Chain A
Amino acid sequence: MKDLSRVANPYNEGKVVDACSIFGMMNTWGQRFSGKDTIAAIANMHDRGNGMGGGFGVYGLYPEYAEYYAFHIMYLSQQAKTQVEAFLNDKFHLLHGEEVPTRPVAAITNPPLVWRYFLEVKPSRGDGQEPDDYVVDRVMEINGIIEDAFVFSSGKDMAVFKGVGFPEEIADYFCLENYEGYLWTAHGRFPTNTVGWWGGAHPFNILDWTVVHNGEISSYGINSRYLEQFGYKCTMQTDTEVVAYAVDLLIRKHKLPVETLANIVAPPLWSAIKRQPPAEQELLRTLRQVYGSLLMNGPFTIIIAHQGEMIGLTDRVRLRPLTVGEKGPMLYLSSEESAIRLVCPDLDRAWIPMGGQPVVGSLKKPLVPREDAVEAY
């Protein structure tokens, strides 16, 4: 039997309430590009944040280490680093570790130490667990047990860079203009009831899933209690983590498609379900019956990303903004249309999706056919 009260919330903190700017851009052909545009776009929505947190998620980041789990870990003490490195050496095959390069930025004071490690799950560890499940458990251990250490990201060929500051300052600090990826998400934070801490900035990550979030999840209490039953530890003192864990549970573990995910976290109203054809009715009803505790209520817009896919979604009555832009193979998602227009003035198309309607960009379904079909991703 699990003692949920101990593992779930060691700080005994309530959820953190945020208002934010979010932005995502993806090349659905898988072509990599620098972070310049993403940084410019998120900086354009400066006033939606308050300098208490900014962050970026980048995919297609480490092609040379694409087969290895890339852990970005934040340390608040040297001792934590020693402990974590001993832990990693014990639990994984540690291929390479280095400090994440930074440059001094006037606005960033007292930053933690951030390191990245490229890890392989030892095939011989003999617990019969899937490697992904093994990694999730180890991340939960580091976050829950080792003091002063926090895993920013733990997926393959991707990473999260985040911290306390405006997003453009964080980008500057981590020298993000030097990196390339085919999918970038970004976040500027306006927390309203907590001091900012580096781990609490967005994106939130588990494996290669990241979430950036604008809004408040008023159902956090039950969402987190539900997820705790499946072994997730809600330690990050914010409501966004439940989105990341819900996505991991539903898509990776329960193997449900993205559209189904949207029908669980932002389901249609019972009255709308009633109007569907019988088979669809049964499906939607069953999803609400079984996963009612994962319905995310209250105002939110989220951008969820993982390898090869970016998903935008608002709550079912759309209490937070989301604008979509398309230009050739590029898909843009943003809190404000102006941020998209800044980096891509001649969009093919821009629109606002309905509440609860997911917008999906995928390498498997590029927005337009590739001109150079030879260069497979």
Chain B
Amino acid sequence: MKTYLPAKFIVERDSERCIQCQVCVNQCTFDTHYYDGEDDIVKNREENCAGCHRCMTFCPTGALTIRRNLLEYRENYNWRPEVIEDIIKQAETGGMLLTGMGDDKEHRIYWDHLVLNASQVTNPSIDPLREPMELATYLGSKPDRVELDAKGRLKTKLPPQVRLEVPVMFAAMSYGAVSLNVHHSLARAATEMDTLWNTGEGGLHPSLYKYGQNTIVQVASGRFGVHQEYLDAGRVVEIKIGQGAKPGIGGHLPGGKVSHEVSLTRMIPTGTDALSPAPQHDIYSIEDLSQLVYALKEATNYTKPISVKIAAVHNSAAIASGMVRAGADIIVLDGLRGSTGAAPKVIRDNVGIPIELALAAVDTRLRQEGIRNRASLVVSGGIRNSGDVAKAIALGADACYIGTAALVALGCSVCQQCHTGKCAWGICTTDLSLTKRINPDIGARRLANLLRGWSLELKDMLGGMGINALESLRGNRLALRGVGLNDNELEVLGVRVAGS
């Protein structure tokens, strides 16, 4: 069938600069560039271009420019090009539309409507270059009070706590979805920066066990790679109920991505599809969740916090309250803009709620019920920079997960082709010829640099507010003001309008 789909991008090659070196041909995984030996010229198949910028970045003579193909459809706000092209794709394939990364629609990004406070006159701002500034964060359940004996010695013993030097962790991305070199980069950076990275649900490769003290091991609906040594290796065990990119939907790692190494780690035969069911088939209710939480606590001898991750949905607040009462030590909320290696497009773009609103609602609810101390609150889904982190903490989060931002640090240009397995940057693929494009030494350095930069910025923002410990920002919604939000939004966020 002839496709009616137009090319998304135009590849401009400056013939004055092009030296026919074919770097672009070798770098492109979408077969956009090809070499015509007869004419000794490099040519394009523009319809294949994903706009990932790999060729542009590596072209030694700067001969390439990638532009949007600005198609001149007749203007129609309802029948936009994306809508038309989605219909064309389905008419030609008869399938569900798959996509990668997170929701790319124009749902309101509340971070951009929140602004932070700073000290002027009545309290001094603090210079983090000269004064101590504390970002240390402990994740885990805390009691409501501390008891001392008659001699002033500590009687209260805390449940397991995990210390983060920076309140930013790397989000769950499974081995299989991303490459082993990505896992190595994340694990090493987390270890260097004293924070945590998350295995995702694909198990932990044997070469990564040595980073266990900085690892969150995930237990998800497929139970891939879950065994005693795996649970023992991690610092935190996370039960994954849902994911912001695809609430209510399971996962499917195509057999083509299940290489020998992936098969060993996932404990499934090479080349078989790895299907993660939509629900965990032993959790059909909150009491079932409680059983799994305590089964994992028993299995790890009450030495590790148990985290439970859900997608942010309409009644997250009530669900989160139930999760705390079910024994979760850490609650993870993954918002509408959370990313994925592959998801049905209609789910990614239409299901779930923005993380800012979910976070505010959950934090408020747990406080109303007097159980906020009993669990730490971690949020993810579209956290882009340290400003977002600071605002999330002020709304009530203990820490944030970053997934996409971490991948961008490694080279990802958010071209949304994760589901194709052809990632030209060698991130979201298990093709060995591509995965070697990520050098773990360089990858770890780029990731650690990102966290270092964000730490410095967080300290600057804290100092500007005249506070020197992150605890004093956490849940301190007076540090925020809303701009351009309506009364209902302000009420849910628990934030006052700027100027009031």
- A interface, CB within 8 angstroms of B: 1-5, 12, 14-15, 17-19, 192-193, 215-216, 218-222, 225-226, 228-230, 253-257, 259-260, 269-271, 279, 282-283, 286-293, 295-299, 316-317, 319
Contacts and interface: CB of A to CB of B under 8 A. Distances in A.
A291 B154 CA distance: 14
A269 B132 contact: yes
B83 interface: no
Interface in B461-500: 465-469, 471-479, 491, 494, 496, 500
A255 B368 CA distance: 24
A221 B479 contact: yes
A191 to B, nearest CB: 10
A46 B132 CA distance: 34
Contacts of A3: 368
A317 B123 CA distance: 13
A292 B123 contact: no
A291 B146 contact: yes
Give the 6 A-B residue pairs with the shortest CB-CB distance, closest first.
Answer: A221-B478, A219-B472, A221-B476, A297-B472, A292-B471, A297-B467
A355 B269 CA distance: 63
Pick from A18, A192, A257, A269 the residue with the most CB of B within 10 Å. A269
A290 B369 CA distance: 17
Contacts of A18: 122
B117 to A, nearest CB: 9
A296 B468 CA distance: 10
A297 B148 CA distance: 25
A298 B154 contact: no
A290 B158 contact: yes
B123 A220 contact: no
B330 to A, nearest CB: 14
B124 A293 contact: no
A289 B146 CA distance: 10
Contacts of B124: 299, 319
Pick from B124, B468, B500 the residue with the most CB of A within 10 Å. B468
Contact of B161 (A193, A219, A289): A289
Interface in B153-195: 153-154, 156, 158, 161
A314 to B, nearest CB: 14
A33 to B, nearest CB: 33
A17 B138 CA distance: 31
B461 to A, nearest CB: 13
B158 A286 contact: yes
Given A218-B472, A271-B132, A1 B467 contact: no
Contacts of B373: 290
A293 B466 contact: no
Interface string B336-370: 00000000000000000000000000001001111
Given A228-B367, A317-B131, A297 B468 contact: yes
A4 B154 contact: no
B57 interface: no
A214 to B, nearest CB: 11
Contacts of A219: 467, 471-473, 476
Nearest to B321: A1
Contact of B145 (A15, A270, A290): A290
Contacts of A283: 148, 153-154
Contact of A14 (B154, B466, B496): B496
A105 B156 CA distance: 54
B145 to A, nearest CB: 5
B271 interface: no
B266 interface: no
A222 B471 contact: yes
Nearest to A300: B123
A297 B161 contact: no
B453 to A, nearest CB: 21
A218 B471 contact: no
Contacts of A293: 471, 474-475
A290 to B, nearest CB: 5
Contacts of B364: 4
Contact of B466 (A230, A289, A292, A298): A298
Pick from B146, B370, B473, B479 the residue with the most CB of A within 10 Å. B146
Contacts of A297: 466-469, 471-472
A222 B476 contact: yes
A254 B146 contact: yes
A17 B153 contact: no
Contact of B472 (A4, A15, A222, A254): A222
B134 interface: yes
B391 interface: no
B474 A222 contact: yes
B479 A256 contact: no
B475 A290 contact: no
B143 interface: yes
A19 B122 contact: yes
Pick from B131, B154, B477 the residue with the most CB of A within 10 Å. B154
A2 B368 contact: yes
Contacts of A193: 122
B136 interface: yes
Contacts of B465: 218
Pick from B119, B471, B496 the residue with the most CB of A within 10 Å. B471
A270 B137 CA distance: 11
Contact of B467 (A17, A271, A298): A298
A18 B199 CA distance: 49
Contacts of A254: 145-147
Contacts of B132: 269, 271, 317
B95 interface: no
Contacts of B145: 253-254, 290
A350 B182 CA distance: 62
B37 interface: no
B317 to A, nearest CB: 11
A181 B369 CA distance: 42
B152 interface: yes
B53 interface: no
A283 B281 CA distance: 42
6 contacts: A221-B476, A222-B472, A225-B367, A286-B158, A292-B471, A298-B466
B372 interface: yes
B142 interface: yes
A2 B156 CA distance: 28
B156 A286 contact: yes
A2 B370 CA distance: 9
Given A270-B134, A317-B468, A221 B475 contact: yes
A299 B473 CA distance: 15
A5 B495 CA distance: 11
Nearest to B373: A290
Pick from A2, A271, A290, A319 the residue with the most CB of B within 10 Å. A290
Contacts of A259: 152
A256 B161 CA distance: 23
B136 A270 contact: yes
Pick from B122, B153, B154 the residue with the most CB of A within 10 Å. B122
B369 A1 contact: yes
